[in-house]
Structures are given as C-alpha cells and as structure tokens.
Amino acid sequence: MTCHRKITLLCIALASLSAGCSTVKVFEESYDPPWPAEAAYTAPTSGAIYASNSDTRLFEDRKAARVGDILTVRLREQTNASKNSQTSTSKATEASLTNPTILGRPITKGGNALFDGALSGDSSFDGAGSSSQSNSLLGDITVTVVQRLPNGNLRIRGEKWVTLNQGREFIRLAGIIRPDDIEPDNSLQSYRIADAQIAYSSKGVLAAANRMGPVARFFNSILHPY
C-alpha cells in the first residue's frame, strides 16, 4: 500500500469520526432541586400566638412563591409551520437589421442582401418549493423554584425520568415565569414560560437503535463532498 493511499484512508477515517461525534446536544444543566433557605431563628415573643419564624400564611395562598416551592407545569406545546414559494420569470429579446442602400440601390452580393438579418432570443425560469413541520408535546411535569428575581419573577427548573423495559425517557424544563400566571391549583401552562428550554429525549437500547452510525452520519454531513 502506497504512502499516498494510507494518508487518504487516514483522512477518511478522521472525517468519519468527526461526523460521528456531531450529535444533537441536549442542554445540560444541574437539575438538583435547591434547598430552601433556612429562616433565621427568632425568639418567640411572650404571649404571641404565632411565631414569626414559622411558615404560617394567614393572608397568602399556597401557590409557589419562594425558592424550593414546587408547581406543576402543564405541557401544551404544539407548533405548526409551513412555507410555499414559487418563482416564474421570462424574458424575450428581438433585434432586426435592414440592409442599407447606396444611391437607391441595396448592397447585395450574388443577389443576396449582405446586411439584412434578425436576432432573437428568449429565456424563462420556473421554480417552486414547499416545506412543513409540526411538533406536539403534551403532559405534566412538576418543577422547583430555584431563584426569585428582583422584579418578582420566578426561575423554575425540573426534570422527570421514566424507566421503561429497554431504556429511560426524560423530560427537562427550565425557564422564567410570572407569579400572576400561576393558577389557583398551583399549576401553570407551558406557553406562559419565558425563555423556556424544554427537552424530551431517551437513553438506552431503543434510543441507540434509532441513532445513525458514524459512517452514515459522515455521508449525511457537510464533510461529504457529494
């Protein structure tokens, strides 16, 4: 085997490995639930009914409002997109030249006009394209409040893992919500989450079976010249 052929095979192998590593990245973030900040101890006032450091809420509802509180997010994600385009152009050109005359006589040779002629041309283009995409995700997931922003909004984060026979599926969610959007039953519609990051994926035998191998990914990547 010549040295040139060895270098060629080595380049193909490296390209295949680099294409094989280009998989869809699921946003990674620490999903450990935060521990609520412990209230500073305050000595109870003599004769008082309620202690100031207790979690007694006389004039508040039980909706999530503080770090460590939980709420349920109703996943109602559905998107539909379609696009159609069509282009049609045409152009026609025509030019003619009349044989000139000198002293009233046309310029000819062998009885044929020398400078009499016509030129014409036309071009046209027709193109059309269409694309469509739809996605749907329905379900519920309970998340935790991880931060209370200075303007009162809440940053939430959470995940749910489901173990099946041949693998594990998980849903991850993170974003920012308004306390006013939380419903009386301490739930929230997912379309009310700002900067939402929602991931639904799986790990295991079934997920690996649905994933292209490194050689197939190489021939479907931009590294493949054809």
Whole-angstrom Cα distance, residue 202 to residue 182?
A: 29
The DSSP code sequence of 4-35 is HHHHHHHHHHHHHHHHHT--PPPPP---PPPP
pLDDT of 6-15, one tens digit each?
666 666 665 5
Token reading at 152? 């009162």
Whether residue 20 lies inside any domain: the answer is no
Distances (CA, A) of 208 to 182, 201, 205: 38, 12, 5
137 three-state secondary structure: strand
pLDDT of 134-148, one tens digit each?
888 899 999 999 999
**Which of 126, 124, 103, 102 shows the shortest CA–CA distance to 115?**
102
Whether residue 105 lies inside any domain: the answer is yes
pTM: 0.57
Whether residue 110 lies inside any domain: the answer is yes
Whole-angstrom Cα distance, residue 190 to residue 74?
A: 6
Overall domain count for the chain: 1
Region of poorest pLDDT, from 4-8, 18-22, 43-47, 52-56: 18-22
Whether residue 114 lies inside any domain: the answer is yes
Token reading at 129? 């394209």
* pLDDT above 70: residue 22: no
Whether residue 109 lies inside any domain: the answer is yes
The residue range of the domain holding 97 is 85-129
